[in-house]
Copies of this chain bind each other. A is one copy, B any other.
Amino acid sequence: MRPPLIEAVPNFSEGRDTARITRIVRRVEETPGIEVLDLHSDPDHHRSVLTLWGPPGPVVEAMMELARACVEEIDLNQHQGVHPRIGALDVVPLIPVRGITRRELVQPALELARRLAEELSLPVYLYADLAQSEGRRELAAIRRGGFEGLREKMRDPAWQPDFGPPTPHPTSGATCVGVRGYLVAYNLYLATSDLAVAREIAARIRSRDGGPPGVKALGFALPTAGAVQVSMNLTEPERTTPLMVRRLVEELAEQFGTRVTHGELVGMVPAEVVEAMLRQSFADNFLAEKILDWRRWQEK
């Protein structure tokens, strides 16, 4: 029987110093039993998104190693980036891949949360499937105010952490831990430096403001890239695919007298989403198993 397999997509607050990023990621890679799938670092976000997978036990160990490395390497008091964050290890989403349900993943995820608090004195907020109240389901609510506002925010009894000390870690802030399903993290770059345009487009495509289902979006200025960006999490990516959202953003960009220069995938994309996109754009009868190299020759 194959062991259960989960994915972790931790986000940590270093996106510029490649030597530091390499040291941090190496600690994860050296954890037995896991495999790193992707690393996406952005200097303007000043943030890295790591994607890895393995059985729950090794993934929890790898996340503990990552947290230790982040506490050692990162000082949020010295950190400025365009992406909202409250922690050196800002957020650890855990996602079932195979042989385990979201419900069954709650237990190992809570174990990780407890250990982050006990072993590293980090305040931990539980979000998504782990949220203990409706107001903590969305990462955006927990992160509002950022690291800079966290000390003040935590004075409010409503914002006591689910695990750990009642005040921020002095250099590492707090960490969010959640269990969720797949999402696609997707950025579109615009041929303008006008942040207001990116923000307005982000507002118009957001589900909660009347956009299509499963779209979370923010507009960012990217001084290093010399552009602005609509940065999205697509939480129902088979229903509202990245291609659908891109077409919408392209239309809105045109209305604002600009255009989309390119798209960027952060991390991995599920095969079902690739299938849905290629059915929409290429061939209605497309299936992932029609990719020749996808099929493996079975020796007989």
Measured CB to CB, the residues of A under 8 A from B are: 2, 5, 7, 32-33, 35, 37-38, 53-54, 97-98, 182, 186, 242-243, 246, 262-265, 267-272, 274, 277-278, 281-286, 288, 290-295, 297-300
Task: Say yes or no: B281 contacts A293, CB within 8 Å.
Answer: no
> What are 19 A-B pairs at a CB distance below 8 A?
A2-B299, A35-B297, A37-B295, A38-B290, A53-B295, A98-B297, A186-B283, A243-B282, A264-B283, A265-B282, A268-B292, A268-B295, A269-B286, A269-B290, A271-B292, A274-B291, A277-B278, A281-B281, A288-B291
Task: Say yes or no: A7 contacts B292, CB within 8 Å.
Answer: yes
Task: Say yes or no: B265 contacts A293, CB within 8 Å.
Answer: no
Task: Say yes or no: B277 contacts A274, CB within 8 Å.
Answer: no
Task: Say yes or no: B291 contacts A264, CB within 8 Å.
Answer: no
Chain B residues with Cβ below 8 Å from A97 are 292, 297
Chain B residues with Cβ below 8 Å from A243 are 281-282
Q: A35-B297, A278-B277, A297-B53 are in contact. Are A284 and B262 (CB under 8 A)?
A: yes
Task: Say yes or no: B288 contacts A277, CB within 8 Å.
Answer: no
Task: Say yes or no: B270 contacts A292, CB within 8 Å.
Answer: yes
